[in-house]
Chain A
Amino acid sequence: VNIRRESTSYADMFRGIHWSTNLTVSLLLLVVLSTPASAYLDGGTGSLFVQVVLAGVLAGLVMAKSVWFSIKDGIGRIFARRTGSTHSDR
């Protein structure tokens, strides 16, 4: 009963937003706000909301960065191998 009530309450905050997104964010905030006993800080609903909204973008950027670094590393390794072969030729 409590869970349903909280879920409804968070859903109310996002009235006007598409119902599927609304449900997703509500369920996530439910998880987010049921924090362990040690969390004494108020994360702020608006602040948690911003993070939830940005989640995909932030993760995407990390992935893009990781891909970029592996490409850079790969190129670096090719050049290193060439330099290495030059040394062995000597």
Chain B
Amino acid sequence: MGSDGSSRAGPGLRIVTAEKRLHSSFRDPSGYVFIRDGVVYRHIGHGYLPHYRQLVESGLYDHLVKLRLLIPHEEVDPGLSGADAALVLKPERVRTISYPYEWSFGMLRDAALATLSIQRHALERGMVLKDASAYNIQFHRGVPTLIDTLSFEPYVEGKPWIAYRQFCQHFVAPLALMSLVDARFGRSLGLYLDGFPLDFASRLCPRTSWLKPWLLVHLHLHARAQQSRGLHAARPSPSVGSQGRPGSFSRQSLVGLIDSLESLVKGLRWNPPKTTWRDYYAETNYSDQASEAKRRIVRSYLDLLGPIERAWDLGANTAEFSRLIAERGVATVAWDIDVAAVEIAYRRIKEQGPEALLPLVQDLTNPSPGIGWALKERDSLVDRGPVDLVLALALVHHLAIGNNVPLTQVAQHFSQLGEYLVVEFVPKEDSQVQRMLKSREDIFEDYSRDGFEEAFGETCEILRRDAVPDSERTLYLMRRRG
């Protein structure tokens, strides 16, 4: 198979392999994303070509790439696209696709600030963002990066920002709710793919939020203007048209809009409260000796595995163990249900790295489904796998006892997500499990070390089994059969 997406079946006969267009790439007629031979490409239509040229020739592309705000790409053979392309781009591959409803507060806030920064740089070079979807941002090598290279259009003097509504719905409303009401609101973004409805957010925010001037304007009054379709909710100010040219939304007004949105986003803050999971490592019954032994065992498993590319740490808490994998350059996702733990992990990664580590919010008892148009626009958790390694430390008892999932089903699901599994078994004798069983009847006859090995033995081969010293727990290294 040739690297240009073609294969040769015989002398003189060239078979071009089929392209697979991404299900999420259909809204913008400027182009679309497709995959050929596992490589991601971006098709640019003839209509968009002048805008793309302006992006490059104005120096905006180089500038944004240098600032790590835009995904770098190379121009490749337009023939790689099955349709008539003006250009085909091969962007740098994003190793993990994540969605805003899986981000913590700080991640969504940084994505919002990145979007505004891009808009500001674009305006300086005569262009603007024609959309401001949070889904256009991905955490690439640890930082929020715009992945839609076709999001730019020439700036036309006098025009307001066409993506203002989208920015407020995708960023302002959820950030306000997460900051002022509850950080778990982020998860609800999965219900509203085009951002949180402003009128709904306005009703949910506390009355005191009306005292924040930019929130009053960009959320509350904006919501009312939307509801009345601009009828009477917001009276036109006498200052409209005061800039020399009657009624003009001048360049200066647009800069002011970006300033005000930036000031609003920066003013929204959230600090993780003390939660069960945040203080897990401090409060757990693990001794320092057991904890260090567990690290040593996990490291030895990683040594045994050799080079791998992708790993998922399920129930990762603040990503302490995910770090052991990511530090080896493996693209690692630290999934956890607790938004505070994910926020803490994100802040630490921002300060210290490693950039291969991405913390994300995930409820494993109800994981991200496929959503959007035809349920294919945003991939489910399972669709984004399988990965090379799944790590599940101190998690199985929460699924089996906390959520009544039979061990065989836990084993089947883990095997679906990864080829190699590192799983910790916590027996009933452990004080954490004892605590869970205190307030409920013990109906878990099969929950034992033997039951665990039997359940996982159906789908996996057990490669290693190590007792964690100074604890009742056991670590397993397993490989999915077949």
Answer yes or no: B340 CB below 8 A from chain A CBs.
no
Task: Point out the residue from A24, A27, A58 that lies within 8 Å of B257, measured CB to CB.
Answer: A58
Please tell me if the beta carbons of A59 and B168 are within 8 angstroms of each other in the complex: no
Q: How many residues of B contact A (CB 8 A)?
A: 58
Answer yes or no: A47 CB below 8 A from chain B CBs.
yes
Q: Which residue of B lies closest to A28 (CB)?
A: B247
Please tell me if the beta carbons of B159 and A32 are within 8 angstroms of each other in the complex: yes
Answer yes or no: B253 CB below 8 A from chain A CBs.
yes
Please tell me if the beta carbons of B248 and A55 are within 8 angstroms of each other in the complex: yes
Q: Which residue of A lies closest to B133 (CB)?
A: A41
Answer yes or no: A53 CB below 8 A from chain B CBs.
yes
How far is it, in angstroms, between the C-alpha of A40 and the C-alpha of B232 when the chains are bound?
Answer: 27
Answer yes or no: A65 CB below 8 A from chain B CBs.
yes
Which residues, 27 to 74 on A, are CB-close (under 8 Å) to B? Answer: 27-28, 31-32, 35-63, 65
Task: Point out the residue from B48, B158, B227, B236 that lies within 8 Å of A31, measured CB to CB.
Answer: B158
Residues of B within 8 A of A48 (CB): 160, 162, 164, 230
Q: How many residues of A contact B (CB 8 A)?
A: 43
Contacts A47-B168, A56-B239: A39 and B130 contacting too (C-beta < 8 A)? yes
Contacts A13-B230, A52-B236, A55-B240: A61 and B248 contacting too (C-beta < 8 A)? no
Please tell me if the beta carbons of A55 and B27 are within 8 angstroms of each other in the complex: no
Answer yes or no: A15 CB below 8 A from chain B CBs.
yes
How far is it, in angstroms, between the C-alpha of A43 and the C-alpha of B238 when the chains are bound?
Answer: 23
Contacts A51-B160, A54-B253: A13 and B130 contacting too (C-beta < 8 A)? no
Residues of B within 8 A of A15 (CB): 231
Please tell me if the beta carbons of A57 and B256 are within 8 angstroms of each other in the complex: yes
Interface mask (B199-228 → A, CB under 8 Å = 1, otherwise 0): 000000000000000000110011001111
Quick one: which of A35, A36, A55, A62 has the most chain B CB within 10 A?
A: A55
Please tell me if the beta carbons of A50 and B27 are within 8 angstroms of each other in the complex: no
The smallest beta-carbon distance between B185 and chain A, in angstroms, is: 22
How far is it, in angstroms, between the C-alpha of A21 and the C-alpha of B230 when the chains are bound?
Answer: 13
Please tell me if the beta carbons of A51 and B237 are within 8 angstroms of each other in the complex: no
Contacts A41-B130, A49-B230, A62-B259: A21 and B165 contacting too (C-beta < 8 A)? no
Contacts A40-B27, A44-B165, A46-B229: A51 and B236 contacting too (C-beta < 8 A)? no
Contacts A28-B249, A35-B162, A40-B27: A54 and B230 contacting too (C-beta < 8 A)? no
Q: Which residue of A lies closest to B257 (CB)?
A: A58
Q: Which residue of A lies closest to B161 (CB)?
A: A51
How far is it, in angstroms, between the C-alpha of A43 and the C-alpha of B218 when the chains are bound?
Answer: 14
Task: Point out the residue from B229, B230, B235, B249 that lies within 8 Å of A55, measured CB to CB.
Answer: B249
Interface mask (B105-144 → A, CB under 8 Å = 1, otherwise 0): 0000000000000000000000000110000000000000
Please tell me if the beta carbons of B256 and A13 are within 8 angstroms of each other in the complex: no
Answer yes or no: A14 CB below 8 A from chain B CBs.
yes
Please tell me if the beta carbons of B222 and A50 are within 8 angstroms of each other in the complex: yes
Residues of A within 8 A of B229 (CB): 13, 45-46
Answer yes or no: A16 CB below 8 A from chain B CBs.
yes
Residues of A within 8 A of B257 (CB): 51, 54, 58
Please tell me if the beta carbons of B246 and A24 are within 8 angstroms of each other in the complex: yes
The smallest beta-carbon distance between A58 and chain B, in angstroms, is: 3
Please tell me if the beta carbons of A36 and B252 are within 8 angstroms of each other in the complex: no
Answer yes or no: B51 CB below 8 A from chain A CBs.
yes
Answer yes or no: A80 CB below 8 A from chain B CBs.
no
Answer yes or no: B156 CB below 8 A from chain A CBs.
yes
Residues of B within 8 A of A52 (CB): 160, 236, 240, 247, 249
Q: Which residue of A lies closest to B221 (CB)?
A: A50
Task: Point out the residue from B130, B218, B241, B256 that lies within 8 Å of A38, measured CB to CB.
Answer: B130
How far is it, in angstroms, between the C-alpha of A55 and the C-alpha of B250 when the chains are bound?
Answer: 7
Answer yes or no: B242 CB below 8 A from chain A CBs.
yes
Please tell me if the beta carbons of B236 and A61 are within 8 angstroms of each other in the complex: no
Residues of B within 8 A of A58 (CB): 252-257, 259-260
Please tell me if the beta carbons of B230 and A41 are within 8 angstroms of each other in the complex: no
Residues of B within 8 A of A25 (CB): 236, 240, 247
Q: Which residue of A lies closest to B235 (CB)?
A: A17
The smallest beta-carbon distance between B135 and chain A, in angstroms, is: 13
Task: Point out the residue from A16, A27, A43, A60 that lies within 8 Å of B247, measured CB to CB.
Answer: A27
Residues of B within 8 A of A59 (CB): 243, 250, 252-253, 256
Residues of B within 8 A of A49 (CB): 225, 230, 234
The smallest beta-carbon distance between B197 and chain A, in angstroms, is: 12
How far is it, in angstroms, between the C-alpha of A57 and the C-alpha of B240 when the chains are bound?
Answer: 8
Please tell me if the beta carbons of A37 and B217 are within 8 angstroms of each other in the complex: no
Please tell me if the beta carbons of B256 and A17 are within 8 angstroms of each other in the complex: no
Taking A50-B222, A56-B240 as given, write out 8 further A-B residue pairs in contact, using a Cβ cutoff of 8 Å, ordered by the A residue number: A16-B232, A43-B163, A46-B233, A50-B218, A52-B236, A52-B249, A53-B237, A59-B252
Q: Measuring CB to CB, which residues of chain A are less than 8 angstroms from any residue of chain B? A: 13-17, 21-22, 24-25, 27-28, 31-32, 35-63, 65
